[in-house]
Amino acid sequence: MNTKLLAAVLSALALAGTWGAETQSPSPATSEAKPQMHTENQPKAGETAPDFSLPSGDGATVNLKDYKGKWVVLYFYPKDFTSGCTLEAKNFERDSSKYQGEGAVILGVSVDSAQSHKDFCAKEGLNYKLLADPDGKTVAAYGSGMDYKGAKMAARNTFLIDPQGKIAKVYTAVKPAEHSEEVLKDLAELKKKA
């Protein structure tokens, strides 16, 4: 078969394929999986923060009431060892001395295991407590649950809790890169008003 004939046959097949694709009904578009949020119980500023008792990566059990008299940055995040969560965690670690200077403690919560938190803290050099909530009860109490691609996890929300145990500020769907600085700024403002 000569090359001109072969080229003509291939061109005809390509055109037929294009025409056939245009006359067939389009297949349904596949959309990017979006998380389904569960914010039904999310406490608001001015309300008492729900108490909890959760294991940390260092083996201790942490209760919110243990921090009465201190400001608490309680942040929920989806998963250890993921890029956004690592960035957020490292930024809180970077700013930890500033939080200490403001009399605040940082606590991170996800549905990962205490062992996962221990490994994550060791790998990333995190020196504050990450709390394990594998059954998601505390995540639900703070209206911070989500389903993503069939997995239940925590949404990226933060609650700034005042020394009396009341929620001073709520942050939802936070941006990991700038979040720690935003919380520090708000903490300083809220302390001036207190």
Active site residues: 85
Specify the pairing of strand 167-171 against strand 36-38: unpaired
Q: Are 94 and 183 in contact (CB under 8 A)?
A: no
Residue 102: partners with Cβ closer than 8 Å, 6 or more residues away: 71, 184, 187, 188, 191
Q: How far is CA 101 from each of CA 70, 73, 105, 189, rounded to the nearest angstrom?
A: 12, 14, 10, 14
